[in-house]
Structure 1
Amino acid sequence: MKKIKNRERNILKRFFVNEKENERIKLMMKETGINNFSIFARRACCNKEIFSIDFSEYKNIISEISSTKSELKRIGNNINQIAKHLNENKNNQTKEW
């Protein structure tokens, strides 16, 4: 990289991407008509607003749903065991006659 004196932007930022991400970046650059990656990355990073969503209040709800799901699964298993037992007894009774 050549050094330019009195450069306005003197901090270098670098990052790695995989093939799929690289193709997406190329496609987005082509769609926007920006040929210079540095300009594209700067606009994509600096001209966008980043939103952060706090899901912490939903963690309790999710854990309750998960525990309820487990309880329902256990109840279902119990019902299936009872039905199996009843069917086995029914079959044994008809064989005796």
Structure 2
Amino acid sequence: MSERVRNILKKFYVTELQNEMLNQLVNDTGLQTFSNYARRMLFKETSLFIQFDESQFEELIYSLRRVENNLRQLSSIAEQSQNIQAYRAIEYSRRLVSNYEKQLTHYYKQKKRKLLSKGA
């Protein structure tokens, strides 16, 4: 078994909330372990602190889900009234909104991960 390249262990204490935040940051960057994350963040040439305000994004997703729910209700009404053409049009619109919400969420998470993992 080869010897470790890094042989000095550093320890520190955090609160439960800080621990959750650190775990989320490690997951968001895709670095897999806290050690990898800490080394990457501590030994960059320039320090970088990014704080995301996700409230606007969350509001957008919330609104899209409300629109989808409204379309689902209209679809149900159209189905009950046996208006097949209206039912198909509303269902198509609902699926478009649903797919848009999924793609937007995926894109947002991907961009956030890429931004957080930049720099060595």
User: What is the TM-score of this pair, normalised by structure 1?
Assistant: 0.42
Tell which has more relative contact order, 1 or 2 (C-alpha 8 A, sep 6+): 2
Larger Rg over CA atoms: 1
User: What is the TM-score of this pair, normalised by structure 2?
Assistant: 0.35
